[in-house]
């Protein structure tokens, strides 16, 4: 059995650990803290202490494992992803002899604003935010690294992740506005548990160099998503404002940045090539399970 290295073992990858531990002879995870080390060790994973912001701490990664899952985000500022650059430098040529598979969790934000169009994986990236440009830089670096080592990474482009502790409850309680229906942009989502399953399937079945949209079947606008969460958990629906008021400060800039982009994602490749069966095919399914305490 092969060995796997996980970079960025947060909530989603922790959900995937039981399946990954069964599939690999050894699973390693890069961790920064003792608490994180204890968490992954309890799941049968070997922790490796290091920090992507400190290149000197990454020397142990070279040749450690043949397969890789990289989900660590870029830094919050800048036009590139130096964390991925440091990781690649530490791994060396194709992560060492015997490399076979690599998966990178990117973002659907790389497409920028698509005017509400339905988007497939062949659409070229057109990032319009620094956040998305950093992800495009990471994808580029990983592809170049893969060409040097003969391992073409599989890229998962991920939309908004939701889970019991990843819902906009505080924004709803604060009555943070969303855009009026006529100006409300389309968005996509995935439950954290389904995303964990998708990561495993991508390692097992993903085609080398392939991009997959890791999203569910829902077609919702951002305001509709907030309304669904509010209705499910007995909270007031958010007020609606027009774009002029939003740009004038009615909507906080971090949230407004997502409302400047509208797209609907196809997940047909995910189902056809990876045979993914979603536990929560729609946001309504996922919210119902969360409300019942089973998701």
**Total residues found in the chain within this entry:** 295
Domain tally, the chain: 1
pLDDT in tens, the chain (295 residues): 689 999 999 999 999 999 999 999 999 999 999 999 999 999 999 999 999 999 999 999 999 999 999 999 999 999 899 999 999 999 986 444 445 899 999 999 999 999 999 999 999 999 999 999 999 999 999 999 998 887 889 999 999 999 999 999 999 999 999 999 999 999 999 999 999 999 999 999 999 999 999 999 999 999 999 999 999 999 999 999 999 999 999 999 999 999 999 999 999 999 999 999 999 999 999 999 999 999 8
Whether 254 is covered by a domain: the verdict is no
Element (H, E) at 284: helix 283-291
Whether 243 is covered by a domain: the verdict is no
> Based on C-alpha coordinates, what's the Rg of the chain?
19
Residue 23 to residues 118, 186, 277: CA-CA distances in angstroms?
35, 37, 19
Dihedrals phi, psi of 187, to nearest 5 degrees: -145, 170
pLDDT for 151 equals 83
SS3 percent helix, strand, coil of the chain, rounded to 5, is 45, 20, 40
Whether 249 is covered by a domain: the verdict is no
Whether 172 is covered by a domain: the verdict is no
CATH at 133: 3.40.50.720
**221 DSSP β-pair partners:** 186
Whether 135 is covered by a domain: the verdict is yes
Q: In what order do the strands lie in the sheet with 26-31?
A: 46-49, 26-31, 3-7, 67-70, 102-107, 154-158, 211-213
108 lies in which domain range?
3-161+190-218+265-279
Those residues with Cβ within 8 angstroms of residue 64's Cβ, 6 or more apart along the chain or in another chain: 3, 5, 28, 48, 96
Whether 20 is covered by a domain: the verdict is yes
Whether 121 is covered by a domain: the verdict is yes
Whether 127 is covered by a domain: the verdict is yes
Those residues with Cβ within 8 angstroms of residue 122's Cβ, 6 or more apart along the chain or in another chain: none
């Amino acid at each position: 059995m092969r060995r796997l290295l996980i970079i960025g073992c947060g909530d989603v990858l922790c959900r995937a650990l039981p399946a990954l531990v069964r599939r690999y002879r050894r699973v390693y995870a890069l961790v920064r803290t003792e608490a994180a080390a204890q968490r992954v060790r309890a799941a049968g994973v070997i922790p490796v202490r290091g920090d992507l912001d400190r290149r000197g701490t990454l020397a142990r990664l070279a040749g450690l494992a043949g397969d890789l899952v990289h989900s660590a985000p870029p830094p919050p500022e800048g036009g590139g992803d130096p964390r991925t650059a440091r990781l690649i430098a530490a791994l060396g040529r194709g992560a060492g002899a015997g490399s076979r598979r690599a998966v990178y969790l990117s973002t659907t934000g790389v497409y920028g604003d698509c005017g509400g169009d339905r988007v497939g994986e062949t659409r070229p990236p057109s990032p319009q935010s620094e956040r998305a440009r950093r992800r495009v830089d990471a994808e580029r670096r990983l592809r170049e690294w893969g060409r040097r080592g003969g391992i073409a990474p599989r890229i998962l482009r991920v939309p908004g992740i939701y889970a019991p502790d990843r819902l906009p409850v505080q924004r709803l309680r604060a009555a943070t506005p969303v855009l009026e229906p006529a100006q409300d942009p389309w968005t996509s989502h995935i439950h954290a548990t389904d995303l964990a399953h998708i990561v495993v399937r991508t390692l097992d079945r993903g085609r080398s160099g392939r991009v997959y949209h890791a999203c569910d079947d829902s077609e919702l606008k951002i305001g509709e998503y907030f309304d669904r969460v509010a209705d499910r958990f007995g909270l007031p629906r958010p007020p609606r404002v027009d774009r002029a008021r939003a740009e004038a400060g009615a909507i906080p800039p971090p949230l407004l940045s997502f409302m400047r982009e509208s797209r609907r994602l196809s997940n047909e490749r995910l189902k056809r090539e990876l045979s993914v069966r979603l536990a929560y095919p729609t946001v309504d399914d996922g919210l119902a399970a969360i409300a019942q305490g089973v998701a």
